[in-house]
Chains A and B, each alone.
Chain A
């Protein structure tokens, strides 16, 4: 059974940093691209970042480019999101999601971790 479990969320002051983790199990982690998707309170889904299975390709939403960094450790079956220079508008539930083999859609999602940016 595929499982994705996010951790690392919490309350952080504007300008601060946070590192999110996503522990994966139940599938060959290195064989699949992964995404981070966020959802602000009461709002819709917003894609944040993508990483290919081998880490060679990464993409970022314009709203986080230059501030966030996605990475993965295939040996530890873990996905990460380093978030720097956090702003109030980054407040959201952050989901990690596994892409399907044919790409660009996500067939498994974690339950999310809440990041709150506030003073």
Chain B
């Protein structure tokens, strides 16, 4: 089955840029979606279809997808961005939704 690999943690200082990667075999052929989850809360969709943002999501959140790696980029990081972030794809070969293991973003 398809596997998505994320780093367990990423740390960044306020105002800097955070990049969270999601690795998968030839992931560029799939649409990648990203979720933010804060403690005790439901996930929130922050990027879908590689690089689109739902309404209400700040422009500071952006996504890209190339080769074997998709990336969620958060510019001008704020303390409120501290959360777990998950990537997700649809694997048509198995008819399964697949989530990455999640990355904990720490704002220093």
Q: Which A residues fall within an 8 A CB radius of B? A: 35, 37, 44-47, 50, 59, 61-62, 95, 97, 100, 102-107, 109-112
From the candidates B84, B88, B95, B98, name the one contacting A105 in the complex (CB within 8 A). Answer: B88
**Docked-complex contact A105 and B45, CB < 8 angstroms:** yes
From the candidates B95, B96, B102, name the one contacting A45 in the complex (CB within 8 A). Answer: B102
Which residues of chain B in 78-108 are interfacial with respect to chain A, using CB atoms and an 8 Å cutoff? 84, 86, 88-90, 95-102
**Docked-complex contact A35 and B97, CB < 8 angstroms:** yes
**Docked-complex contact A107 and B45, CB < 8 angstroms:** yes
A44-B86, A109-B42, A110-B42 are contacts. A104–B31 as well, Cβ < 8 Å? yes
Q: With a CB–CB cut-off of 8 A, which chain B residues contact A47?
A: 88, 96-99
* 19 pairs, CB–CB < 8 Å, chain A vs chain B: A35-B97, A44-B84, A44-B100, A44-B102, A45-B88, A45-B99, A47-B97, A59-B97, A62-B1, A95-B42, A100-B48, A104-B31, A104-B90, A105-B49, A106-B33, A106-B35, A106-B43, A106-B45, A107-B48
**Docked-complex contact A112 and B42, CB < 8 angstroms:** yes
From the candidates A62, A105, A111, name the one contacting B48 in the complex (CB within 8 A). Answer: A105
Q: Which B residues fall within an 8 A CB radius of A? A: 1, 31, 33, 35, 37, 42-45, 48-49, 54, 84, 86, 88-90, 95-102
Q: With a CB–CB cut-off of 8 A, which chain A residues contact B33?
A: 104-106
Q: With a CB–CB cut-off of 8 A, which chain A residues contact B101?
A: 44
Q: With a CB–CB cut-off of 8 A, which chain B residues contact A61?
A: 96
Q: With a CB–CB cut-off of 8 A, which chain A residues contact B31?
A: 104-105
The CA of A109 and the CA of B45, in the complex, are separated in Å by 9
